[in-house]
Each structure stands twice: as C-alpha cells, then as structure tokens.
A and B are shown apart, each in its own frame.
Chain A
Amino acid sequence: MIDLNDIISTTEFNPLIYWVIALMAIPLLSFFTTTFLKKIAPVWGTMLLGINLLISIYLASQYWDTTGVSIRGNWFSIGDTQLTYSFLIDQLALIMLVVVNFISVLVHFFSMEYMRHDENKSRYFGLLGLFTFSMLGIILFYDLLFIFIFWELVGLSSFLLIGFWFEKKSASLAANKAFIMNRIGDLGFITGLMILYSQFQTFDLEGIKSLTVLSSIEDGNWVAEYFKNGELVRNSLDGRWLSAAGIALFCGAVGKSAQFPLQVWLPDAMEGPTPVSALIHAATMVAAGVFMIARIFVILDAQALEVVAVVGAITAFMAAVAAFSQFDIKKVLAYSTISQLGYMVLAMGVGAYTAGLFHLVTHAMFKAGLFLSAGTIIHQLHQLEGKDVNFDPQDMRVMGGLRKYMPVTFVCFLICALSLAGLPGFSGFLSKDAILLNTAVWVDEKGGGFYFIEVLAFATVLITAFYTFRMIFLVFTGGFRLPKLIPANATLKPLKEGNVFLKLPMVLLAIGSLSVIFGFAMMAENTWFYSLIQDPIFLVPESYAAFNLMDLPREWFENLHFQVVAISIGLALSGIIIAYFLFKPGAKYSASFAEKREPIGLVGQISFYHWYQNALYEKVILKFILWKAKRIAWFDRVILDGFINFIAKFQVVFAHLIAWFDRNIIDGFVHLTTYTTGRVGQLTRSVQSGNVQVYIMAALAFLILMLIWLLF
C-alpha cells in the first residue's frame, strides 16, 4: 500500500528551480514591460525571448541525458487536503522548450518588420510575451491543475491575439469563436480533472500515475486504495469512469488542438496577424493539446485511445479535403494545420507516442516556416496597396508568378511544402511515415472496422501533397495576376523580396524542415529524437489497457515498413502530379482560377465550405440553442417571473392591508394615548394659572370642603 503524502512530498532544493522560474519570468517581464516601451518594445521583447532561448538551449544541453528532474513543493493546504506544484524537466519538456522558444524568437524577429507600421505594436509584443509565458507553463508544470491554469492563459492570449485588430468585426468575432470553442473543450478538461481528483485526491501527475498503476478493476469497478495522512482511503468508481476520465481530458485537447468536432475555430483564427498564426495557431499552442495527451498518455485506456485515434483520423481527412479549394492562402495553411494535428492525435490514439511528438516538432518547424513565408508574401503584397489599389493580399487569386519576384521566399516555401507533403529528405517525411507505419501495424492488430482509419490516413497523404502543390503552383508559377485585376489607370509599385527581418526566420525554419536536422536517417527510428523519447507503457489496470505497440513483433513493423514508405511516397508524388496537371501555368483550372468566386461541383463545394460544418452548427446547434434559449427565456419571463410577480403583488396587497391596520389600529392606540394624555395635561395645566389668589381660593374651598366633611 502506498502513501499519497510520500508521492507528493516536497523534493529537496534543486538550483534548477531558478532556471525554471527564469524561463517563465522573462516572457512575463516582456508582457509587463513592453506596454510602456513604445518605440523599443519590439527590440526589447525579441531580446528577452532570445535570452529565454539561450537558457532553454543551456538547460537542454545540461539535462539531455538525464531521465527527468522533478521539482515539487507544497502550494497550500486546506484541512487535510494538500495541493502541490511540480515541475518535470524531462527530454520532452526540453525539446518543447527549445522548439517553443526558437519559434517564438523567430516570430518576434519577423514581427519587428511585419508589425513595423502598426501603432499598437507594443501591445502586440506584450501579448506574444504573455503567450510564451503561458505556453512554457504548460510545458514545465507536471501538475494537471497548473497545466489547466496555463492552458486557460494560453487560450486567453490566443483570444487576445486573434482579436488583435479588434476594430475589424470579423477579427473580434473570430476571437470569440475561438474562445467559445476552446471553452467547450475545457469543460471536458475540468470534468476529467474532477474524475481524477475524486479518485486520487491529487492533481500531481506523478501521484496520479503512481496511483493508477496500483489501482485495479474489481467486479467492473475501478478501485484505488492508498494511505492519505495515515488513513486508508478506498475510492471506488464504476470502471467506465476510467475511460471517461481519459476521454474528458482528451476533450480539452480537442478544443485546443482543433480536432473534430471543435476545429471550426482555427480557420477563423487566421484573422490574427500572420506571425501570430505561425506561432500560436500552427506551431505551438495548437500542439499544446497533443502535448497534454502525451503527458496523460499512460493513464488513457483502450477505449479512450480508440476515441482519440478515430477523432484524429477524421480530423486529418476532413481538414485536408477542406484545404484543397480555398482561395485564402492562410485558410489553406490553417486547414493543413488542422489536418496535421489530426495526424498527431491519430498517432497518440494508436499508441505511437514518440511518432506523434516527433510530428509535433517537425510540423512546428515546417508549418511555422510556411506561415512566415506566407506572411512575407502578404506583407510585401500589402506594400502595393495604395489609394486606388485595393485588394485582399491573402487571396491567392491576386498572386501568381511570385517566384520571379521573391526567390528566397519561394525556396523556403518549397522546402517547407515538401516537408508538409512528406517527401524523403525533409523532416515531415520521417515523422509522417512513423505515424503511418504505426497506424498500419495498429490497424492490423485491431482489425475489423478500424481499417477506415488507415484508409483516411493514407488518403490524407495524397490530398496533402495535392493542396500543398496546388498552392505552390497558384502562388509561385505562371504570371502575376494582380496587375490585371486592378483598375487600368492605377500604377503598381514593383513587388520586392522582403528584407532580412522577414528572410532570416524563414530561412532558419526552412533549414529546420530538412531531415538532416534529425540525423542522417531514412527512418524515424534512426533519428536522435527516437533515441531520446521512447513509447511509455500504459499504467491503467490490465483489463482496460490498450496493447503496447512495442509488444508487437518487430517483424510486423519491418514487413510493413517498405510498403508504407512506398505507398506514402507514391501517394504524395501522385498528389503533386495531379496538382501539376490541374494547376500548372496555362492548365484548365489555373486559367479560370482568378475569375472564380467559389468552386463548382459537389466535392468542391463540400471542400470549400469545410463539409458544411459551420453551416451545420449555425443551422442545427445554434438554432437549437437559440430555440432552447427562447423557450427558457419564455419560461423565465412567464413562469418564473410570473410567480415572482405574483408573490410581489401579493406582498404589495398584503402590505397595504398591514399599512391600513398599522395606520388605523396601532397608530390609533398611540394617538388615543397621546390625545388622552394631552387632554389631561391641558386640564391639569389650566389649574396652574400662576395667579396666587386663585391658589388661595382653591385652598380655601378645599379647606371648607374638609371642614364640611369633618363636621357633618
């Protein structure tokens, strides 16, 4: 039997805590100070984040080989209940630290040029600092309650940054949408927290994991037995709550990582500045959901993992389909992000922990690179806008042939796009293949209806390559379409390549998208990432646990590996080829592209409107909610208010009665008393005339009366 207080006892002092505090304090300092520094805010914010990057690289080099350093302390106690905080610095946290800080620095640097002419740029840089602070909190804390707190802070900073240009109606609406969708997911997160707390009475992940190992299934009940403050605690829940806890926590990830069915907020979130989209809505924040699943991975049971896998596969496919008909370059990238997040979640669901996290890291690099390249294009196109030239610089219909004007951007974009499409030599290939391979093995083991997951996963490869290269052909090849779309008399400034502020982050991220970064390997298993992070073993009671992928025979992996690689490369190449024939300069779709308002045909429509999910929500759920709200409002107004009004009216009438009684009866008594007293007073007063002779007369009369009484 284990004592809970031992597991969550305070650890010995470790100087590492200073570094941890510094890591979080520096971005927070940036948040608090940049508002006051008007002109130098960008430089200041970038410098602070640079320091943070250096700290995280230093920490990574120091703790690279350790198994993880845990720091725990007592936060506060209420009665017997002790709440702790704890940090865990393991390889996963270190890698995430470096990735988040690296991309954050690059985005800061990029924003120095991108936001140069924005008058609110000090607020912008402050919010970036707030975001980085909250994100690092999620990464460093190893306590579900703290992760939840920072989870919410991340949501807040996302809300503030999506709505950064809040004077635009669409931006503030998008911010609200993101916030509300995240809130729905967070409801699940809180539910999961409550289930776990009621079972284990701690939020500390180490404690939860230790107690999960010791919990057992007895007669279909999930029983946890441990000592707490010297007393035996025996908590028993129906076994289904074990799955429910996992699924509920996953709901949080569904909201934050934009998974089906809550993913509709992410395309709208593109209303924010493009560097923000790169940092928050592509590389880091949306990956927080995946990171969170990784943190709770070992306490997920088979059922919860199945849900995770199915949701991931559906999301990956749906979003990929939605991406191939958008006009807005950022929308394409947004759907692509959702799709890739679907892959990561799918990987988690099939138990491919390492592959999912590997894809998280590679995706962070190449997607941030794609967003920053797109940001460069948008920024440079925006420069062309003038008094008589008005267009949407995010619309691919105004682009075309940009390769000639912006060669560096083109190369960066191409490298990141090849990585996204998953071609050998680029990081996306390694991680995506690892996911596909693990999914294939998992599906073989599961069998049955789960084959549709594999089908969706492989179909997504084809579509991903297709939409990526559709975008490249439309943006970078052919002729520049903008001059034809503007009024004839307007003059257009020449389109130029971005300056070093825009170029450097792009180039660095493009380099980060090459597979050599992760070692000279053609297989994910041979990269240094895989040697650092291994798939953990599930800790839930045996009858509920999913099978571990690593328990399966290695031959299965080896046999499937060649097929998976061949099929995925084949699919990716055919996607590129289809895109080439449809969208190469002068091809059928490419020629009519600029005039199109929306795609034609069923598939095009479904894709363009993202499976009509928004419309469905508006038509059904929103309508239902509004209908329900109206009914409830009616109930409120007529029944509840009626009842209250009736009581109020009754009270008023009753009060009038009481008032009458008070005025006439009670006051009557009082008035009678005072009147009587007054009259008596009047009467007796008149005797006191002050006239001495009257007194004498009275005395005389009294005397005479006395005499008469005495004598007779």
Chain B
Amino acid sequence: MPLNTILLLGAALFCIGLAVVVTRKNAIAVLIGIELMLNAANLNLVAFSRFDAVELQGQIFALFVITVAAAEAAVALAIVIKVYQHFQTANLDKINELKG
C-alpha cells in the first residue's frame, strides 16, 4: 500500500474529525471528533514508522498517543458530565458563560 494512500486516509480522517468538532452541538460528539483527529494523527505516525523498521519510533509514539487519548477521554467525559449536571444540557451553543 503506497504511503500516499495512507496519508490521504489520515488527512480525510482528520478533516472529518475537524468537521465533527466544529459543527456538532453536542459536547460528546465533539469529543468523538477529537478522537477521530487523534487517530488520524496516529495513522500518520504508524505509516511513517515503516521507514524506521529497527526502532519503530512511530508506532511507539502512536501507543503513547492512544494512552494519552484514553486519559483525555476519561477527563473530558468527566468534565462533560459535570457540565451537564451544572447546566442541565450538553449543547455547546448554550454553554457560553465565558462570553465577553
């Protein structure tokens, strides 16, 4: 499989994730989008690790990213739950208390 195809897939995934993050109203959907973007990055890392067959630095970095993403998801979900408890909604358009 040529590298270009993988990079294009990653870019497509990133763009989809970004689109989800920017357009969806629900905080959880936004989180999902963020996960997509992270995984698009992981895909790139893994793809580039093909050129480093000995040390596999890309794959190891991808593993770290997955771990951090898991932690991030946990924290983010906790925040979302708290936000929901506080505002009785998860709609990001409604949660704009920091408006200047």
Q: Is A684 an interface residue (CB 8 A)?
A: yes
Instruction: Kindly supply a per-residue 1/0 record for chain B positions 74-100, scoring 1 wherever the CB is within 8 Å of any chain A CB and 0 otherwise.
Output: 000000000000000000110111111
A689 contact set on B, CB distance < 8 A: 96, 99-100
A230 CB to closest chain B CB, in angstroms?
86
A707 CB to closest chain B CB, in angstroms?
13
Closest to B92 in A: A692
Q: How far is the CA of A338 from the CA of B64 in the complex (A)?
A: 131
B34 CB to closest chain A CB, in angstroms?
10
Among candidates B18, B23, B92, B100, residue contacting A688 with C-beta atoms closer than 8 Å: B100
Size category of the binding interface on chain A: 10 to 19
Knowing A691-B92, A691-B93, say if A696 contacts B99 (CB, 8 Å).
no
Complex contact B100–A700 (CB within 8 A): no
B97 contact set on A, CB distance < 8 A: 690
Q: How far is the CA of A687 from the CA of B98 in the complex (A)?
A: 11
B22 contact set on A, CB distance < 8 A: 693, 696-697, 700
Complex contact A687–B100 (CB within 8 A): yes
A696 contact set on B, CB distance < 8 A: 21-22
Q: How far is the CA of A691 from the CA of B96 in the complex (A)?
A: 5
Closest to B25 in A: A693
Q: Is B30 an interface residue (CB 8 A)?
A: yes
Closest to A689 in B: B99
A685 contact set on B, CB distance < 8 A: 100
Instruction: Kindly supply a per-residue 1/0 record for chain B positions 10-37, scoring 1 wherever the CB is within 8 Å of any chain A CB and 0 otherwise.
Output: 0000000010011100000010000000
Q: How far is the CA of A113 from the CA of B2 in the complex (A)?
A: 147
Q: Is A686 an interface residue (CB 8 A)?
A: yes
Closest to B93 in A: A691
Q: How far is the CA of A691 from the CA of B93 in the complex (A)?
A: 6
Q: How far is the CA of A688 from the CA of B97 in the complex (A)?
A: 10
B91 CB to closest chain A CB, in angstroms?
11
Q: How far is the CA of A689 from the CA of B30 in the complex (A)?
A: 18
B92 contact set on A, CB distance < 8 A: 691-693
Complex contact B99–A693 (CB within 8 A): no
A700 contact set on B, CB distance < 8 A: 18, 22
Complex contact B21–A690 (CB within 8 A): no
B95 contact set on A, CB distance < 8 A: 690, 692
Complex contact B21–A688 (CB within 8 A): no
Instruction: Kindly supply a per-residue 1/0 record for chain B positions 22-57, scoring 1 wherever the CB is within 8 Å of any chain A CB and 0 otherwise.
Output: 110000001000000000000000000000000000
Size of chain B's interface in residues, with CB distance under 8 A?
A: 13
B18 contact set on A, CB distance < 8 A: 700
Q: How far is the CA of A688 from the CA of B98 in the complex (A)?
A: 7
Q: How far is the CA of A691 from the CA of B27 in the complex (A)?
A: 12
Q: How far is the CA of A374 from the CA of B83 in the complex (A)?
A: 115
A139 CB to closest chain B CB, in angstroms?
95
Q: How far is the CA of A696 from the CA of B33 in the complex (A)?
A: 12
A692 contact set on B, CB distance < 8 A: 30, 92, 95
B100 contact set on A, CB distance < 8 A: 684-690
Residues of A661-702 whose CB lies within 8 A of B: 684-693, 696-697, 700
Closest to A692 in B: B92
A697 contact set on B, CB distance < 8 A: 22
Closest to B23 in A: A693
Q: How far is the CA of A258 from the CA of B26 in the complex (A)?
A: 115
Instruction: Kindly supply a per-residue 1/0 record for chain A positions 453-495, scoring 1 wherever the CB is within 8 Å of any chain B CB and 0 otherwise.
Output: 0000000000000000000000000000000000000000000
Q: How far is the CA of A700 from the CA of B93 in the complex (A)?
A: 19
Q: How far is the CA of A688 from the CA of B18 in the complex (A)?
A: 21
A690 CB to closest chain B CB, in angstroms?
3
A684 contact set on B, CB distance < 8 A: 100
Q: Which of B23, B95, B98 has the most CB of A within 10 A?
A: B98
Closest to A688 in B: B100
B22 CB to closest chain A CB, in angstroms?
5
Q: How far is the CA of A688 from the CA of B96 in the complex (A)?
A: 9
Q: How far is the CA of A123 from the CA of B99 in the complex (A)?
A: 86
B94 CB to closest chain A CB, in angstroms?
10
Q: How far is the CA of A78 from the CA of B100 in the complex (A)?
A: 74
B99 contact set on A, CB distance < 8 A: 688-691
Q: How far is the CA of A696 from the CA of B99 in the complex (A)?
A: 15
Q: How far is the CA of A693 from the CA of B96 in the complex (A)?
A: 10
Q: How far is the CA of A685 from the CA of B98 in the complex (A)?
A: 11
B21 contact set on A, CB distance < 8 A: 693, 696
A693 contact set on B, CB distance < 8 A: 21-23, 30, 92
Closest to A681 in B: B100
A699 CB to closest chain B CB, in angstroms?
11
Knowing A696-B21, A700-B18, say if A690 contacts B98 (CB, 8 Å).
yes
B98 contact set on A, CB distance < 8 A: 688, 690
Q: How far is the CA of A517 from the CA of B21 in the complex (A)?
A: 136
Among candidates B23, B30, B96, residue contacting A690 with C-beta atoms closer than 8 Å: B96
Closest to A697 in B: B22
Closest to B96 in A: A690
Residues of A603-633 whose CB lies within 8 A of B: none
Closest to B27 in A: A692
Q: How far is the CA of A684 from the CA of B100 in the complex (A)?
A: 8
Q: How far is the CA of A684 from the CA of B18 in the complex (A)?
A: 26
Q: How far is the CA of A697 from the CA of B97 in the complex (A)?
A: 19
A690 contact set on B, CB distance < 8 A: 95-100
Closest to B24 in A: A693
Closest to A686 in B: B100
A686 contact set on B, CB distance < 8 A: 100
Q: How far is the CA of A696 from the CA of B23 in the complex (A)?
A: 11
A166 CB to closest chain B CB, in angstroms?
82
Closest to A700 in B: B18
A688 contact set on B, CB distance < 8 A: 98-100
Q: Which of B92, B93, B97, B100 has the most CB of A within 10 A?
A: B100
Closest to B18 in A: A700
Q: How far is the CA of A476 from the CA of B40 in the complex (A)?
A: 148
B90 CB to closest chain A CB, in angstroms?
12
Q: How far is the CA of A700 from the CA of B23 in the complex (A)?
A: 13
Instruction: Kindly supply a per-residue 1/0 record for chain A positions 288-324, scoring 1 wherever the CB is within 8 Å of any chain B CB and 0 otherwise.
Output: 0000000000000000000000000000000000000
Closest to B99 in A: A690
Residues of A44-87 whose CB lies within 8 A of B: none
Q: How far is the CA of A336 from the CA of B32 in the complex (A)?
A: 131
Instruction: Kindly supply a per-residue 1/0 record for chain A positions 100-120, scoring 1 wherever the CB is within 8 Å of any chain B CB and 0 otherwise.
Output: 000000000000000000000
B23 contact set on A, CB distance < 8 A: 693
Q: How far is the CA of A512 from the CA of B22 in the complex (A)?
A: 131
Instruction: Kindly supply a per-residue 1/0 record for chain A positions 525-551, scoring 1 wherever the CB is within 8 Å of any chain B CB and 0 otherwise.
Output: 000000000000000000000000000
Q: How far is the CA of A687 from the CA of B92 in the complex (A)?
A: 16
B55 CB to closest chain A CB, in angstroms?
29
B84 CB to closest chain A CB, in angstroms?
15
B97 CB to closest chain A CB, in angstroms?
6
A435 CB to closest chain B CB, in angstroms?
111
A84 CB to closest chain B CB, in angstroms?
85
Closest to B21 in A: A696
Taking A690-B95, A690-B97, A696-B22 as given, write out 11 further A-B residue pairs in contact, using a Cβ cutoff of 8 Å, ordered by the A residue number: A684-B100, A687-B100, A688-B98, A689-B96, A689-B99, A690-B100, A691-B92, A692-B30, A692-B92, A697-B22, A700-B18
- Listed by A's residue number, 12 A-B pairs whose Cβ atoms lie within 8 Å are A684-B100, A686-B100, A687-B100, A688-B100, A689-B99, A690-B97, A691-B99, A692-B95, A693-B21, A693-B30, A697-B22, A700-B18
Lowest 8 CB-CB distances: which A-B pairs, in order?
A688-B100, A690-B96, A690-B99, A685-B100, A690-B98, A691-B96, A693-B22, A692-B92
